[in-house]
Amino acid sequence: ANHSKGNSKGSFELPEIKFTKHFINGQFVDSISGKTFETRDPRNGEVIAHIAEGHKEDIDLAVKAAREAFDHGKWPRMSGYERGRIMSKFADLIEEHIEELAALDGVDGGKLFTIGKIMDIPGCIHMLRYYAGAADKIHGETLKIAGEYQGHTLKEPIGVAGIIIPWNFPSTLFFVKVSPALAAGCTMVVKPAEQTPLSALFYAHLAKQAGIPDGVINVVNGFGSEAGAALASHMDVDKIAFTGSPEVGRLIMKASAESNLKTVSLELGGKSPLIIFDDADVDMAVNLARMAIFFNKGEICVAGSRVYVQEGIYDEFVKKAAEAAKSWVVGDPFDPTVQQGPQVDKKQFERVLKYIEHGKTEGATLLTGGKPYGETGYYIEPTIFTDVKENMLIAQDEIFGPVMSLMKFKTVEEAIERANCTRYGLAAGIVTKDLNIANWVARSVRAGTIWINCYFAFDPDCPFGGYKMSGFGRDQGLHAIEKYLQVKSVITPLINSPW
């Protein structure tokens, strides 16, 4: 392959792995069974740590601690202002460890160290501070009730939240869920992804240092079918906030239905369209499209995996996109010149390659890439297919890898119809200078986030979530706090009790 290679192996000294156990009731503890599992470095497949493997009995202990902290502890009862102050302290402590945390996600998940340092971890700090500021602004309404009554609503924390997150953004997704839950006054049990447990344990340690009471944040490691399933079906958990695959999303709803009907919110996959119109600056559009699919090695639920280009600029776009993919730098995530690290593990690596083979046999044209990159580790070349049709698997399934499907369209109506031709609805991008087209398309595409002339612009204040099979409920923004709250109506007679 003629992809440029990063010019060094990365000189950053890998952080010491300090935390490998569960964090339950303020203590790091082994599994009751004594079992552990391996977490591996995707650059070479080598084992980096043995992590306590949680099962039902460990989840039971963690839920018990969270229940106790909720039913009798200080956290739900202290003022929002006080909770906010402790959350701010937590954010300050993270700020002192940015490099170490970015390195943990780098070695555990193959994520770019530099991006972790300037985006992921600072984004977590921002998220915590945003919700720290919101913690004392949660309030109910006054109700005008017919007859001689008045009423008000109380917003109360929902209780014990179960938080199940995937491996592609181990830090970001931890805080996307934990921050609003903390602000609301919930206690929680977090089940990080088995591929990337390291940073969550570090956060649990910092939470304790910041003064978050024992039992408020518990972290239990382990596999989805064991620890995750036990959390989702637990009778004493009041809510599950999940990010992951639609298949597991279904299992979580089923577990809720078959246990205590806990509320569920799901942030699932995507197959997001990026629609580029004739009036776009082609160089800018190519750059944006490249970033939209190859960023984080395509392991991002909002990846712009279907790129629709209008016919007038299509040929030029295809030519430039191929060049752009070839100059995208693949290599060691600790090398600052690298733009794409390895896929998270062997399973994902093989899965992506299988989709690439599928694309070829389905009749799409492989424009560039399509193979593993290098001899060791789980690297894949930035890959682009042209001549893709909506009914092909590569245009329908979330590949979760660096694979772009390029398609040509004629009219705005056609672009909208084809953009919506998927079971997902997480995000979409539009590139045009025409305000009318931008607004029309933004309103017509059924997706939770629309980026116009940009992509991946995120902020804690932007609600984030899906339409259709991309899930329901919104993370981020003030909306997200509602997921961790209950509304209670309190009614009193205005004068004397009529009873």
Q: Which residues are catalytic?
A: 267
Residue 22 vs 117, nearer CB to ligand ADP: 22
Q: With b meaning 16 or more CB within 10 Å and e meaning fewer, what string describes 109-120? A: bbbbbbbbbebb
* Least distance from ligand ADP to the Cβ atom of residue 261, Å: 17
Q: How far apart are CA 187 and CA 238, in angstroms?
A: 10
Closest CA to 217 of 201, 204, 236, 232: 204
* Least distance from ligand ADP to the Cβ atom of residue 152, Å: 37
Q: How far apart are CA 378 and CA 233, in angstroms?
A: 34
**Residues 333 and 113: beta-carbon distance below 8 Å:** yes
- Specify the DSSP element, H or E, that contains 177: helix 170-184
- Torsion region of 147: left, alpha or beta (phi above 0 gives left; psi -120 to 50 gives alpha): left
**Residues 53 and 39: beta-carbon distance below 8 Å:** no
- Judged by CB under 6 A, the chain residues 235 through 264 that form the site for ligand ADP are 244-245, 248, 251-252
Environment class of 72 (CB within 10 Å of its CB; exposed 0-12, middle 13-18, buried 19+)? exposed
Is 232 a binding residue for ligand ADP by CB under 6 A? The answer is: yes
- Judged by CB under 6 A, the chain residues 321 through 360 that form the site for ligand ADP are none
**Strand, coil or helix: 12:** coil
- Residue 355: C-alpha distances to residues 18, 80, 146, 341, 418 (Å): 37, 48, 61, 19, 21
Residue 106 vs 401, nearer CB to ligand ADP: 401
Q: How far apart are CA 287 and CA 311, in angstroms?
A: 18
Is 178 a binding residue for ligand ADP by CB under 6 A? The answer is: no
Residue 6 vs 224, nearer CB to ligand ADP: 224
Per DSSP, 470 falls in state: G
* Least distance from ligand ADP to the Cβ atom of residue 230, Å: 8
Between vectors from CA 105 to CA 100 and to CA 108, what angle results, nearest 5°?
A: 120
Is 229 a binding residue for ligand ADP by CB under 6 A? The answer is: yes
Residue 426 vs 431, nearer CB to ligand ADP: 426
Residue nearest to ligand ADP (CB): 224
Q: How far apart are CA 145 and CA 153, in angstroms?
A: 12
* Least distance from ligand ADP to the Cβ atom of residue 151, Å: 39
Per DSSP, 298 falls in state: G
* Least distance from ligand ADP to the Cβ atom of residue 166, Å: 4
Helix spans in 185-331 (H): 198-210, 229-232, 246-258, 282-294, 311-326
Q: How far apart are CA 288 and CA 441, in angstroms?
A: 18
Residue 317 vs 400, nearer CB to ligand ADP: 400
Is 444 a binding residue for ligand ADP by CB under 6 A? The answer is: no
The token pair at 284 is 């800018």
Is 166 a binding residue for ligand ADP by CB under 6 A? The answer is: yes
Residue 224 vs 460, nearer CB to ligand ADP: 224
Size of the site for ligand ADP (CB under 6 A): 17
* Least distance from ligand ADP to the Cβ atom of residue 237, Å: 12
The site map against ligand ADP for 185-224 (x = CB under 6 A) is ------x-xx----------------------------xx
End-to-end CA distance of the chain: 84
* Least distance from ligand ADP to the Cβ atom of residue 222, Å: 8
* Least distance from ligand ADP to the Cβ atom of residue 193, Å: 4
Is 225 a binding residue for ligand ADP by CB under 6 A? The answer is: yes
* Least distance from ligand ADP to the Cβ atom of residue 259, Å: 12
Q: Helix %, strand %, coil % for the chain, to 5?
A: 40, 20, 40
Q: Which residues contact 147 (CB under 8 A, 6 or more apart)?
A: none
Task: Kindly list the residues in this chain that would bind ligand ADP in the complex (CB under 6 A).
Answer: 164-166, 191, 193-194, 223-225, 228-229, 232, 244-245, 248, 251-252
